[in-house]
Structure 1
């Protein structure tokens, strides 16, 4: 933390251990001859890591991109190593030398993006998309005709991750990519930014170091604890460009926020997420340079002021999980530079009319249709999606009903950047014709259909050859499923409250192939659900039969077909299927790692139970599975 003393604990390794870490990273995917040619100079570079594992990893990541011996020798003989000789008493500089080498090897635009990360507290879980939006707000990303700013930001992130400046990278809720910075990397970023980035704990507001440096600060992070008063010294930081308030969901007194906003005339990124604020002051409209506003998880926020629509440069607005927020400002359509509007799982009841004007949108994660009533004249209809062809990622359309002409005009199939589509209908309506005209782009990866009242699924579903995840829920009238086994890339299938009575050969997609083979007399290999790994079946109260096939998995019928069904299935979960009698042979022969028969499946429980005194008749057929739970 800037302005406070901190200690760096160093745990060192032997030279051999450091060399091993360095070689593992630096020589990844290199030929044996190349490794032999560079090994001697690599050991010399690794020895400069002073036994620090992080340094070995960072230097190894740097050398991955160096192909020639000359480039390796340039790193070994770099003038930066001489800093160690100039000032041997500064432990921090010694630790930072390997990082400096990798840092200065980065393009200047990427260096600037890395240093910005000094705004986050240590051990802070960063979100990749959020960080890219913050970089964008500072003007660090320049798009060109063929590449959006977001794509450029993604590339910069990948460069920094490849150089080991970021670690613990993983997927989280909403498919977000989250990550952290190592403490030493964080110290290095703050060391390089000097007084530009400041992190202040709520308990240190009175420290002289804060008071003396705040006027020079450009990026400020405040960590507020329960009932902390909002620090008035921020009014002196008139050049502030970023403000991140981390409160861990605790309430803080926001009474000073309007006065503070009057002073933050240069602010470009404002993060008030997880706070207990109930309203945004009208003064926010004066922050004309504001480009990024994050209000996610502000569950007590009830409204947004119309003055927010004066933010002519605003690029991203996030009100995810603002459950008390029931609407967006009516004049939001004035924000023609808006690129990201995240409103999913908020209380927003409908999209305001005129949303079609926001043609710069890259993210529009939820489009809620008005269900009639007094707001209908102010609400957008589905046809307003027509010209929003840049939206990508996830799109949830809720309250679907009627309006087939509007749905046709929406032209969802032209949203080529969409990866995930969720269609939520008004329950119990006949929607066969409506769903047919809601055809998504063919490259869609995830599809959810909920509360669908039709009796058949749309024809376009089988054209989604890149679909990886399919979820059907509350589709009670749907008694027959299409040949889902023929979707070549489907990895996850979830069925909840679907009216299906039987899983048969048509469900697998075998029937048509077998008929064709009988006609042609050819031998074919058929693999229904070739990539399916996870299958969830919940609340299928009408399901009685799950047909197997007469041939065992992989056994050839000399005249027709060799069949391999669900060859990659790893997890099967079944609950509340009271009529289902048994599991088919091909499921029991799959490489299952987990079988979970959770509740209200009496036939399955008797058949496969594992109690010592009264094992089920087919217990032996599932006993090899690593994780089995039946109750």
Structure 2
């Protein structure tokens, strides 16, 4: 099991007490640690990007399944779509669910694979929505009216071209997973207004107002972050406004430009931009793609990233003063 997914489900089901000094996500992390200490979770592993996985003993799983039988509903392939009225958590595995899902108590909607066919008249009380692998180009704009939504997972939606324009209205959103959404070319405006957002796997820098890299400034992001479209950043000051050096919970960072640029997006300022994007010293993994500066920044060479264990350079054809072999890794 993945730690972040567990915490997302706990939040959605109201298992994490609110109103304390800690944010729901941070409180969930403390609960996870407590349950691990009590051996509720076992075989804890953490990847370089900060992803934590664990296992649960079969007996504990069976007990949880028994207790939650009336609140958790799983629809397997070739099974009917009868959903209990008391269902809070609905998981659909490669089945067709053709009717709209407006269950009164439904908090979690977890759809597996693009074989599902579901109308998007979803309960406004939904807090967790996973559509990983769906073959869609856009999401209905009505998705942005799910004001209670905390987790939106769209991983492997390879044909997804845009997110709802009103995504900024999802004020309770904490996790936005758009990994492997390769067709996505822009971000909705004003993502920086999502003050609770702590997981944002990818951000594409745009030229329009409200789509710049400064939208990241106030977001306390953690785990993995990929920033694309850095050729649209106009100055080092604009890059510095991303405030990466203050994001102490980031573990993996990918920075990418566009290699084929026109006269309006030259590569003369690549060195200044990369220098201003210095991450926090806690970073473990760094990837730089299509960078066309001649030298690499000081923060990559002066042991300012003591926890770095993995680094990669892709299509960086112009750097000459320093090669990847000369970068000082601890």
Pair in the same fold by TM > 0.5: yes
Q: Is there any run of 5+ residues in structure 1 with no aligned partner, and where?
A: 1-125, 198-216, 371-375, 483-494, 496-502, 510-528, 532-631
Match of 2:312 among 471, 476, 480: 471
Tell me if 1:344 matches 2:179: yes
Cα distance in 2 for partners of 1:420, 1:164 equals: 28
- Give secondary structure in 2 for the equivalent of 1:253: coil
| Correspondence for 1:159 | 34
| Correspondence for 1:557 | none
How far did residue 471 of structure 1 move? 1.7
Does the aligned pair in 2 maintain the 1:350–1:379 contact within 8 Å? Answer: no
Change (3 A) 1:238 1:397: same
- Give secondary structure in 2 for the equivalent of 1:185: helix
Cα distance in 2 for partners of 1:317, 1:337 equals: 11
How far did residue 316 of structure 1 move? 1.1
Match of 2:234 among 400, 403, 413: 403
| Correspondence for 2:189 | 353
Does the aligned pair in 2 maintain the 1:265–1:288 contact within 8 Å? Answer: no
Tell me if 1:223 matches 2:76: yes
| Correspondence for 1:244 | 91
What TM-score comes out, normalization by structure 2 length? 0.86
Cα distance in 2 for partners of 1:292, 1:238 equals: 18
Change (3 A) 1:163 1:476: same
| Correspondence for 1:393 | 223
Deviates more, 1:334-343 or 1:441-450: 441-450
How far did residue 144 of structure 1 move? 5.9
Cα distance in 2 for partners of 1:129, 1:508 equals: 32
| Correspondence for 2:141 | 306
Does the aligned pair in 2 maintain the 1:341–1:365 contact within 8 Å? Answer: yes
- Give secondary structure in 2 for the equivalent of 1:407: helix
How far did residue 137 of structure 1 move? 0.7
Change (3 A) 1:271 1:378: farther
Change (3 A) 1:176 1:460: closer
| Correspondence for 1:208 | none
| Correspondence for 2:114 | 275
| Correspondence for 1:128 | 3
Does the aligned pair in 1 maintain the 2:49–2:223 contact within 8 Å? Answer: no
Mapping for residues 504-523 of structure 1, pairs under 5 Å: 507=326
How far did residue 327 of structure 1 move? 0.7
How far did residue 335 of structure 1 move? 0.8
Cα RMSD of the aligned pairs, angstroms, is: 2.5
Deviation per residue, 1:425-460 (Å, 9 max, x gap) = 112633112112212223322211111101101122
Cα distance in 2 for partners of 1:377, 1:334 equals: 19
Cα distance in 2 for partners of 1:467, 1:293 equals: 33
What TM-score comes out, normalization by structure 1 length? 0.47
Higher helix fraction: Structure 1 or Structure 2? 1
How far did residue 417 of structure 1 move? 2.4
Change (3 A) 1:392 1:168: closer
Question: How many correspondences in the alignment?
Answer: 318
Does the aligned pair in 2 maintain the 1:449–1:473 contact within 8 Å? Answer: yes
Change (3 A) 1:508 1:218: closer
Q: Is there any run of 5+ residues in structure 2 with no aligned partner, and where?
A: 261-266
Tell me if 1:445 matches 2:284: yes
Where relative contact order (Cα < 8 A, 6+ residues apart) is larger, the structure is 2
Cα distance in 1 for partners of 2:21, 2:222 equals: 16
